[in-house]
Amino acid sequence: MSKKCILIAGSGFAGLWAAISAARAIELTDKQDEVEIVMVSPSPTLAIRPRLYEAVIENMNPSIAEILDTLDVRHIAGVVRDIDADGKTAVIIHNDGTSETVGYDRFVLATGSKLFAPSIPGLDEYSFNVDTLPAAEKLEAHLQSLVDEPPSEARNTVVIAGGGFTGIEGATEMPERLRSILGRDASVRVLIVDPAEQIGKEMGDQVVEVVEQALDELGIESRSGVLVSAIEKDSVTLSSGEEIPARTVVWSAGMRAHELTAQVPGEKDELGRVVGDEFLRAPAARGIFVTGDTVKAATDDVGNYAVMSCQHSLSLGRVAGHNAAAELVGLELHPYSQPKYVTCLDLGPWGALLTEGWDRQVQMKGADAKKVKEEINRVWIYPPEADKNTMFAVANPDHVIVP
C-alpha cells in the first residue's frame, strides 16, 4: 500500500515547523509507515530573514537537513510552480530545470512573502533590499565598495524607502555601518522616507515617540508624508519634488504573499493572502492548508489577524502541520489561536523597543529591550536541535514562543 503524502511547499519558519508538527502527530499515532512528509524548497535551509538588515550576515541560512533526516522528511530541491487543487497534484521544478508532477493527500502552502516592488523609474536598476540573503549580500558588497569612490554627498548618503519595521531597523543600524566602512570621521547621512504622517505611525503613538527619540539621537533624518517617485544612480526624487543625492537606496516598502496563493481557490486579502478557516484550511480548496505569510488568520475572537512575522509564522506552522497530519491519522484538529502579541523593534546602537498587545503598549526600551531582541534574533528563531524529543517538546500546536 502506498503511503499518503503531506506535501509542504517552503522551508521557512512556517514550513519547518509544519514539518516538525506533522511528524509529531504521525508518530503519536504510530503511523509512520502510512504517511510520508515531503518538503519542497531550493535548499534544506532556513533563511533567518528577520536579521538580514544587520551588518554582519553570517549564519543567516542554517541547514535543516539533519532535522529533516531525523524526522524522515524527504526534501526535494526545487520549487512548486503549479497547484492543481481539484486533482490534488503539484508541479515541481527541480533545481536542475527538470520537472515532475507529484500527487498529495494534504498540501501545506508555506512559501512566505516577497517584497512589494511597484513600478517606479529606476527601482530595479538602482535600489537594494534585504528581502533575501543574496539581496542582503549584494547590499553589503555595494556598501563596502563605496570606500573606493571619491568622497561626495551622494556616496555618503543612504535613503531607506519605507518606515515600517524593516526600514526602521535597517536605518538605525546604517550610520554606524557606514562609518565602519568610510571612516569614523566620515560625514554620513541616513534618511527614512515613508508616506505615513510620522515614521512608525502604524505601530502606535507610544512607538512613534520612542522611534523619534532614537532617530534623533542617532542623527537619522526622516521625510514623512511623501513617496519615492524616481531613483537614479546618484539620486532619489521624492513625490514632494525634493531631490536627494544618494548612491544607496534601500527599498523596504511592504510585503505581498507569494504568488502561489493566486492558484489556491478562495478569498484573498489585499496582501494576496488566502483567507483561512480556524484550522488554517483554505475553505474553497479541499486538502490545502495555508500558513505563515500566505494566510490571513484570526489570532483571537476580537478582530485581530496574524501579521507577516516570524512570531506568527512559528505558531501558524505548528498548527497547519498538525492539522494536515491530523486529518490523515485520525487526531482531533487544533484551532489556531495566538491572542498574545508582542513586538521587539531593533533601534541600532540606541537599543530596542519591546511592546505588548495589539495597541503596542511599551514594556521596555533601550539597552534592556536590546538584550531581549538579541535573544530573539540569535536563539529563539533558529532551528531546534535535531533530536526528536527536543523538537516534539515544542512542536505541540498549543506551544507559543513570546518574550
Specify the pairing of strand 228-232 against strand 221-224: unpaired
Residues forming beta bridges with residue 290, ordered by sequence position: 109
Residues 6+ apart with CB under 8 A from 137: 57
User: Given a cut of 60, is residue 188 above it in pLDDT?
Assistant: yes
Specify the pLDDT at position 202.
81
Residue 110 pLDDT grade (very low, low, confident, very high; cuts 50, 70, 90): very high
For range 236-251, the mean pLDDT = 97
pTM of the model: 0.95
For range 266-289, the mean pLDDT = 97
- Look at residues 74, 78, 80, 111 and name the one whose alpha carbon lies nearest to residue 94: 78
Specify the pLDDT at position 400.
61
- Look at residues 362, 341, 364 and name the one whose alpha carbon lies nearest to residue 351: 364
Predicted confidence (pLDDT) per residue in 251-277, tens digit:
999 899 999 999 999 999 999 999 999
Specify the pLDDT at position 95.
97
Residue 201 pLDDT grade (very low, low, confident, very high; cuts 50, 70, 90): confident
Specify the pLDDT at position 348.
96
Residues forming beta bridges with residue 160, ordered by sequence position: 192, 250
User: Given a cut of 60, is residue 133 above it in pLDDT?
Assistant: yes
Contacts 24+ apart (CB under 8 A), 384-389: 384/20, 384/67, 386/66, 386/67, 386/69, 386/70, 387/70, 388/27, 388/70, 388/71
For range 393-397, the mean pLDDT = 91
- Which domains occur in the chain, in start order? 4-115+255-340+384-393 (3.50.50.60), 123-251 (3.50.50.60)
Q: What SS3 state is found at 81? A: strand
The rounded distance, in Å, linking the Cα atoms of 239 and 225 is: 9
The rounded distance, in Å, linking the Cα atoms of 131 and 351 is: 23
Specify the pLDDT at position 351.
97
User: Given a cut of 70, is residue 87 above it in pLDDT?
Assistant: yes
User: Given a cut of 90, is residue 2 above it in pLDDT?
Assistant: no
For range 198-210, the mean pLDDT = 87
Specify the pLDDT at position 394.
92
User: Given a cut of 80, is residue 403 above it in pLDDT?
Assistant: no
Predicted confidence (pLDDT) per residue in 344-353, tens digit:
999 999 999 9
Specify the pLDDT at position 401.
58
Evaluate whether 38 touches 102 at the Cβ level (below 8 Å): yes
Strand order, beta sheet including 235-238: 228-232, 235-238, 243-245
Specify the pLDDT at position 402.
52
Specify the pLDDT at position 1.
61
The rounded distance, in Å, linking the Cα atoms of 60 and 41 is: 16
Q: Which percentage of the chain shows pLDDT scores above 70?
A: 99
- Look at residues 190, 161, 123 and name the one whose alpha carbon lies nearest to residue 252: 161
Q: What SS3 state is found at 400? A: coil
User: Given a cut of 60, is residue 39 above it in pLDDT?
Assistant: yes
Specify the pLDDT at position 46.
97
Residues 6+ apart with CB under 8 A from 48: 59, 60, 61, 62, 377, 381, 382
Q: What is the mean pLDDT of the chain?
A: 95
Residue 200 pLDDT grade (very low, low, confident, very high; cuts 50, 70, 90): confident
Residues 6+ apart with CB under 8 A from 184: none
User: Given a cut of 90, is residue 205 above it in pLDDT?
Assistant: no
Taking every pair of C-alpha atoms in the chain, what is the biggest distance, in angstroms? 71
